[in-house]
Amino acid sequence: MSPKVYINGEIFEKEDARISVYDHGVLYGDGVFEGIRVYNGEIFRCSKHMDRLYASARAIALEIPISKDEMVDAMHRTLDANGTPDAYIRLLVTRGIGTLGLNPYECHDPQVIIIADSIALYPPEYYEKGLELVSVATLRNHPNAVNPRIKSLNYLNNILAKIECIQAGVGEAIMLNKDGYVAECTGDNIFTVRNGALVTPPVHAGILEGITRQVVIELAREAGIETREQDMTRFDLYVAEECFLTGTAAEIIPVVRIDSREIGDGQPGPVTLMLLKMFRDQTTNNTG
């Protein structure tokens, strides 16, 4: 069955869901979005996603035309229309219709778009056998240019890095920041395990503050695992005992090879597998 799409209070069939070509979201990537998981009919970490969406909008001076509570109601309405107890929501807010110039203050009627569908970012076997990564030349956006903490509709930086990893024949790309430190992958945060401690790049490295990233940090601390946010180089990745990625779409996926170097013993490690089980238990019960 074709998914149904919410646009500004109305539900449309996928083939009838349209916005203007003069919308600045189309013309310039001017807008914000969230990717959100739904487990057993419940929106996972809903309040965290709403906080991040509205913070991203505030950062680009975009006024979302409905409240957070109204947005949550709209997501539930979209889920009900699709009859999907387990889904991936893509929620977008565009600047709205404007002129061919850049001036955002000439735009009117921001568009609220909600898609509820399924997503499979990586093949199932990658979750069992692990993923291979490559570090790429495309750097993560400088925070003083387009701050990576803004989840904007302009993902060209990530797409350019994705092109590089596809051309290299691997599943995902590691993006460095302007100082040569590890930032994140094209759509996921990155973690390593070394000497039993969990390590991930800090926010100041130029990363998106991932919702799943935060869940994993909470789970690790609950399990008594030392967890640190610190600057990392590629050397730190190469010598790690374990590595994995986190993201709303990816959830938690093991990494077994980086830049042709085997990580640990080349198999998903015990800490990764434990956290993956804890995460799946939480989402199955949707206690988040």
For every residue of 123-138, DSSP letters joined together read -HHHHHH-EEEEE-SS
- Select which of 4, 68, 129, 151 is catalytic: 151
- Strand locations in the chain, DSSP E? 4-7, 10-13, 31-39, 42-43, 87-94, 112-117, 131-135, 172-176, 182-185, 189-194, 197-200, 227-229, 242-247, 251-258, 261-262
Is 0.85 surpassed by the pTM of this model? yes
Instruction: Enter the tokens of residue 143.
Output: 């925070």
Instruction: Enter the tokens of residue 227.
Output: 């967890």
Task: Count CB-CB contacts under 10 A for residue 90.
Answer: 17
Domains and CATH numbers, the chain: 4-117 (3.30.470.10), 124-285 (3.20.10.10)
CA 257, CA 266: separation in Å to the nearest integer? Answer: 7
Provide the pLDDT for residue 80. 96
CA 240, CA 263: separation in Å to the nearest integer? Answer: 6
Give pLDDT tens digits for 63-100.
999 999 999 999 999 999 999 899 999 999 999 999 99
Contact 39, 88 (CB under 8 A): no
Task: Count CB-CB contacts under 10 A for residue 128.
Answer: 10
Task: Count CB-CB contacts under 10 A for residue 124.
Answer: 8
Q: What are the phi and psi torsion angles at 139 (to 5°)? A: -85, 155
Q: Which residues pair with 199 in a beta bridge?
A: 192, 228
Contact 139, 145 (CB under 8 A): no
What does DSSP assign to residue 147? -
Contact 215, 282 (CB under 8 A): yes
CA nearest neighbour of 139 among 112, 108, 172, 173: 173
Task: Count CB-CB contacts under 10 A for residue 91.
Answer: 22
Provide the pLDDT for residue 134. 98
3-state secondary structure of 59: helix
Q: Does residue 4 have an active-site annotation? A: no
Provide the pLDDT for residue 286. 63
What does DSSP assign to residue 142? P
Which residues in the chain land under pLDDT 50?
A: none
Instruction: Enter the tokens of residue 184.
Output: 């994140």
